[in-house]
Amino acid sequence: MSRLNFLKTLSRQLMEEQLKYRLTIDVLPKTIKFRLKQYATKTNEAAGTSQRVRASGRCAFCERAKDRKTTKVCTNCARLICRDHIIETCPDCFIDM
């Protein structure tokens, strides 16, 4: 790998977290969000994975009458989960599951 290719790859990896964070900002102009999404799809295609950054909507487990909005998502199925339905476990217990 040439020095130039190494530096390009390194710069993309260093920018990735910041770009993901910027996509979660609601008041960001549409043009900037569009460009960030374009870049994110290029990097996801290269990596072979697509990941949901942040969702916003109703909890999948609450009744409609409660209408609880959330941005938390299940890591396995990507369904929206409110704070009442999140199950918190320590890393040791999570490994034992």
Q: Check whether residue 71 and residue 93 sit in a common domain.
A: yes
Provide the residue range defining the domain that includes 29: 3-47
* pLDDT for res 46: 55
Place of tokens 């043009």: 31
pLDDT score, position 3: 92
Q: Domain check: are 16 and 43 in the same one?
A: yes
Same domain flag for 73 and 95: yes
Same domain, 59 and 94: yes
The predicted-structure confidence for 35-66, as pLDDT tens digits, reads as follows 888 887 776 655 544 445 556 888 888 888 88
The number of folded domains in the chain is 2
| Shared domain check, 64 and 92 | yes
- pTM for the predicted model, two decimal places: 0.40
Task: Return the exposure string of 62-84: e unless at least 16 CB atoms fall within 10 Å of the residue's CB, then b.
Answer: beeeeebebeebeeeeeebbbee
